[in-house]
Chain A
């Protein structure tokens, strides 16, 4: 593939990929890490353009997922140092909260296994079908169907549990029908 054709091909898919991956990362990590991982994900996409399938966004999600996992691993190593620095030089609070905070949901998601929570995010936030999730995670559709079903049940259980113990009257309005 000659360089111009290659670049044209990348430019054609880049806007959609950038938009999707930006959101994907914003949902899963802090803004600084999201920026880094976005750049790195794009580099990987560009390098591996020859492997790009017909569904570039799903492919890019898969790359972003692994890149983010790498970044998080690196970050865990630095966490202790960062915690030390934060005590001396606290960073400004980031108030980029979602439109509506739903503490129960956040707590329930956090209580799930990481794999279950990721499945649910891909399903609800990235709005992917089981077939598309299977591409992102590189597993079979069958596996996604089974795991997604279980993950939904677990999330509902968690929400029920939290609702049972906490009396947030105002925050439960309109959720139970």
Chain B
């Protein structure tokens, strides 16, 4: 088969061979559609576009810096202990290690009606954080070990699971007998 024969054979199979030429109406419609649906970017608009893009870059840069600057404090938010009617089983290091996804030692720095802010001094388990905010749900924090509730200036050991503070002997004042041992046992190293 020569090249010409090959070409002829391909031409016979040309899917567009029997295609009618675009009608003048169709051409006009396409033309109108094209020149009217687009606004040509002229130089002034291009300047605006560039300015807008630059602004976005600046905003993104500031936001990025704000998010990543070293002194930026990371704050974890937790829900405080609620009213739990269930009886507590004796706390064990195994259970603490198994269910806590975040455990830390911290000092209460601020107390408002609804929020307790703790300054984190040590993270036993979970992602590093500088501050933890615990939302107090009502007045029922009796199940914290020690004094039973968060008090300003005191040190606490707090474990949380899925964003909620674990009670029943798993969180409380750092000075509570056995609590720091429990933490040391559950999170060695």
A11 contacts across to B, CB distance below 8 A: 31
Interface size on A, residues (CB 8 A): 42
Q: Please, how many angstroms separate the alpha-carbon atoms of A156 and B6 in the complex?
A: 8
Q: Indicate whether B7 reaches chain A with its CB closer than 8 angstroms.
A: yes
Q: Indicate whether A43 reaches chain B with its CB closer than 8 angstroms.
A: yes
Query: Measured between C-beta atoms, what is the minimum distance from A87 to chain B in Å?
Result: 27
Q: Please choose the segment from B19-27, B105-113, B126-134 that sits at the chain A interface, where 4 or more of its residues have CB less than 8 A away.
A: B19-27
Interface residues of A (CB under 8 A from B): 3, 6-7, 10-11, 14-15, 18-19, 22-24, 26-27, 38-39, 42-43, 45-47, 96-102, 105-106, 120-121, 123-125, 152, 155-156, 159, 175-177
Q: Please, how many angstroms separate the alpha-carbon atoms of A12 and B34 in the complex?
A: 14
The answer to whether A22 touches B19, judged by C-beta atoms less than 8 angstroms apart, is yes
A15 contacts across to B, CB distance below 8 A: 22, 27
B38 contacts across to A, CB distance below 8 A: 43, 46-47
Interface positions of B from 13 to 63, Cβ below 8 Å from A: 13-19, 21-22, 26-27, 30-31, 33-35, 37-38, 40-41
Q: Please, how many angstroms separate the alpha-carbon atoms of A124 and B40 in the complex?
A: 36
16 example contacts (A-B, Cβ-Cβ < 8 A) are as follows A14-B27, A18-B30, A19-B21, A19-B27, A22-B22, A27-B14, A39-B30, A99-B12, A105-B10, A120-B10, A124-B6, A124-B10, A125-B16, A156-B1, A176-B1, A177-B5
Q: Please, how many angstroms separate the alpha-carbon atoms of A11 and B35 in the complex?
A: 10
A97 contacts across to B, CB distance below 8 A: 15
A152 contacts across to B, CB distance below 8 A: 3, 6
The answer to whether A39 touches B34, judged by C-beta atoms less than 8 angstroms apart, is yes
Query: Measured between C-beta atoms, what is the minimum distance from A74 to chain B in Å?
Result: 20
Q: Which of A7, A22, A123 contacts B35 (CB 8 A)?
A: A7
In the complex, the 6 A-B pairs of residues with the closest C-beta atoms, listed nearest first: A124-B10, A23-B16, A102-B13, A26-B16, A42-B34, A98-B15
Q: Indicate whether B11 reaches chain A with its CB closer than 8 angstroms.
A: yes
Interface size on B, residues (CB 8 A): 29
Known interface pairs A100-B12, A124-B10, A175-B5; A26-B19 also in contact (CB < 8 Å): yes
Q: Indicate whether B69 reaches chain A with its CB closer than 8 angstroms.
A: no
Question: What residue of chain B has the Cβ atom nearest to residue A23's Cβ?
Answer: B16
Question: What residue of chain B has the Cβ atom nearest to residue A125's Cβ?
Answer: B14
A105 contacts across to B, CB distance below 8 A: 9-10, 13
Query: Measured between C-beta atoms, what is the minimum distance from A17 to chain B in Å?
Result: 10
Known interface pairs A27-B14, A124-B14; A6-B40 also in contact (CB < 8 Å): yes
Q: Please, how many angstroms separate the alpha-carbon atoms of A45 and B31 in the complex?
A: 11
Q: Please, how many angstroms separate the alpha-carbon atoms of A97 and B15 in the complex?
A: 7
Q: Which of A6, A99, A125 contacts B10 (CB 8 A)?
A: A125
Known interface pairs A42-B30, A43-B37, A46-B38; A102-B9 also in contact (CB < 8 Å): yes
Query: Measured between C-beta atoms, what is the minimum distance from A133 to chain B in Å?
Result: 13
The answer to whether A98 touches B3, judged by C-beta atoms less than 8 angstroms apart, is no
A18 contacts across to B, CB distance below 8 A: 22, 26-27, 30-31
Q: Please, how many angstroms separate the alpha-carbon atoms of A22 and B16 in the complex?
A: 9
Question: What residue of chain A has the Cβ atom nearest to residue B2's Cβ?
Answer: A177
A22 contacts across to B, CB distance below 8 A: 16, 19, 22
The answer to whether A10 touches B14, judged by C-beta atoms less than 8 angstroms apart, is no
B30 contacts across to A, CB distance below 8 A: 14, 18, 38-39, 42
B7 contacts across to A, CB distance below 8 A: 123-124
